[in-house]
Amino acid sequence: MAPRIARPYWFRATGAAIPWRAVLEDQAARGAGFPAWNKVAGDLPQLDDRRETDLALRWQCRPSLGVPFGPFTVWRRPAKGRPQEIRVTPEQRSEGLLLRLPELSSAVTVTCEAVDPAAPVALLVGYGSIGLAEALAAHAVPAPGPGPVGLGVRCSGAWWALLVNGRSPQVRIEILADTLADPAWEPVEIVGLP
């Protein structure tokens, strides 16, 4: 098998949990007074009561690569709580504390204190440029109050973390190379078959 690579700016998936039942109920409530709705309402599928949400994936390919020429396999790996503690020198920025990671990381965990316990504390991680728009993953805790705050994210490879409204960070990472080399990866499905 070819070695696994992670290049989030070449090819990646983004996911969202969609509550289809709530979407359908909202559409039904809005459309009930329209004759066109009444024509299609009887043909709508019955939704499984056991499924509150479905995961919708969107594949994103770098334009210079184009789309895959054939089917590809989607893999998954159980999340493992084995990040190693690292030392970072926080750099104060207008948005918060910038934490430059010493290795390309697939998981970043930060324990810190809130600067303002009445305001949210957030952790953003990214690969290239630094900022909210460039973040690959984020985690926020609304108004944590006094005491330590724990934040954690997983992503396809981060070089930096931005801690918003936090101080005295203790940082742990899982190195991306270790994640990719883990033998626990297993195929989930093949995408692109008719």
Tell me: the pLDDT tens digits for 1-48? 566 777 766 777 777 777 777 777 777 777 777 777 766 666 666 666
How far is it, in rounded angstroms, from Cα 66 to Cα 70? Answer: 12
Q: What is the pLDDT of residue 194?
A: 60
Check pLDDT > 80 for residue 75.
Answer: yes
How far is it, in rounded angstroms, from Cα 161 to Cα 101? Answer: 7
Q: What is the pLDDT of residue 44?
A: 66
pLDDT band of residue 124 (cuts 50, 70, 90) is: very high
Q: What is the pLDDT of residue 57?
A: 72
**Tokens encoding 6:** 């992670």
pLDDT, averaged across the chain? 83
Q: What is the pLDDT of residue 90?
A: 92
Other CB atoms within a 10 A radius of the CB of residue 174 amount to 21
